[in-house]
Amino acid sequence: MSLWSQLIKGSSFWIRFELGLIQLEGKQYFEEMNRRAITILNSMIDKDDELLLILNINRLRNSKRIVIPNIKRLMRCKKQIYGLKCETLPFEFDEEDVEMETKQYSLRVKKDDIRIAYLIQLIGNKDFAKKPMINGSCYLLNLTKETLFHMYDDRGCDVYGIEKSSLIPIYKNFKSWILDYNRIQIDRMFGNGLFNIYETPDESEKRLNLNRKKIRESEINLFEDNTCYITHKLMIPINRSQECIEEIKQTGFEVMVDTTENEFIKINITKKEALGLINYQTELMSLYSKKYQGMYNSWSASRA
């Protein structure tokens, strides 16, 4: 199995980062997306690392149409394109799909060979059909460090490593950019944050039942645009409150201290997101409340 296959198919450690922020629009949205992607990628590769630039093009197996990606435009020295290799692989998203196949184009490069900012721009424009853009799935494989960078579109990117140690600095340095939807899973992988905090089956069932009830009462249709400002209310002991606030500030949620009541501080935690994602949000809040020996009261949603 190739190093790319080994990394991408689950025999590795990984982190998923949020790049495009729903609360930003237009120019600001793309500027933040570019800043985050370029910062993460630059942290993963050094000047002398051996890299493999990979572009996967998916097509019907019996198709006669040949698509050769314009990788040349990504290179500072156009002559390097003569080292481009191509192989045919099973369909990257479903190896059992016999009607589809993946043409994988790869080129050995060094960091300074690639127009990194331009590459990020091409990927970020893909889902908007905005030129310049790139077709297919693009990966940057670090052969020296055995890590992989994959920006799937403007929303986010995945990083992979054969060894956990290769990703620990990235996990620590960019923890606030981790996609909150996967935060619990990633924290447990790296033995940090919420890694040792769990709900009981009864607590989980009660929370999910309450979520369903509150969604019905809201009369918001989850099959249409259901973007909301969702606010969670936590009660945290005063002596643990600052530590709790600092940890939650490392997420995509906004934190605001409400009032002090007896030995507890009320904290309001808000995020603009689809109401359809309420289950993962309430799980996060439930676990943060447990970790800091507090109580998770409830949540409310208002149309964005």
Same domain, 39 and 129: yes
Question: With 80 as the cut, is the pLDDT of residue 27 above it?
Answer: yes
Same domain, 162 and 82: yes
- 57-72: pLDDT as tens digits: 888 888 877 777 788 8
Same domain, 93 and 181: yes
Tokens of 124: 């970020």
- Provide the mean pLDDT of the chain: 93
Q: What is the mean pLDDT of residues 82-90?
A: 88
Say which range, 75-89, 198-212, 261-275, has the weakest mean pLDDT: 75-89
Q: Which residues contact 216 (CB under 8 A, 6 or more apart)?
A: none
CATH of the domain at 291: 3.30.70.970
Same domain, 96 and 141: yes
Same domain, 159 and 213: no
The answer to whether residues 44 and 159 touch, using CB atoms and an 8 Å cutoff, is: yes
Same domain, 155 and 211: no
Q: What is the mean pLDDT of residues 231-236?
A: 97
Per-residue confidence (pLDDT) for residue 136, from 0 to 100: 86
Per cent of the chain over pLDDT 70 is: 99
What is the tally of structural domains in the chain?
Answer: 2
Domain boundary among 190, 209, 236: 190
pTM for this predicted structure: 0.91
What is the C-alpha separation between 114 and 134, in angstroms, rounded?
15
Distance, CA of 288 to chain centre: 21
Domain assignment present for residue 196? The answer is no
State the pLDDT confidence band at 303, using cuts at 50, 70 and 90: very high
| More confident position, 76 or 129 | 76
State the pLDDT confidence band at 78, using cuts at 50, 70 and 90: confident
- 189-198: pLDDT as tens digits: 999 999 999 9
Same domain, 155 and 178: yes
Same domain, 220 and 298: yes
Question: With 80 as the cut, is the pLDDT of residue 6 above it?
Answer: yes
CA-to-CA dists, residue 167 to 31, 151, 163, 174, angstroms = 25, 16, 7, 11
| More confident position, 97 or 214 | 214
- 242-297: pLDDT as tens digits: 999 999 999 999 999 988 888 999 999 999 999 999 999 999 999 999 999 999 98
Same domain, 259 and 177: no
Q: Which of 40, 47, 30, 10 is nearest to 177 (CA)?
A: 40
The answer to whether residues 261 and 212 touch, using CB atoms and an 8 Å cutoff, is: no
What is the C-alpha separation between 104 and 247, in angstroms, rounded?
41
The answer to whether residues 281 and 271 touch, using CB atoms and an 8 Å cutoff, is: yes
Residue 266 phi/psi, 5-degree rounding, is -85, 130
- 91-136: pLDDT as tens digits: 888 888 888 999 999 999 999 999 999 999 999 998 887 888 888 8
Q: What is the mean pLDDT of residues 145-163?
A: 95
Same domain, 142 and 51: yes
Tokens of 102: 């993946």
| Domain extent at residue 138 | 3-190
- 29-44: pLDDT as tens digits: 999 999 999 999 999 9
Per-residue confidence (pLDDT) for residue 11, from 0 to 100: 67
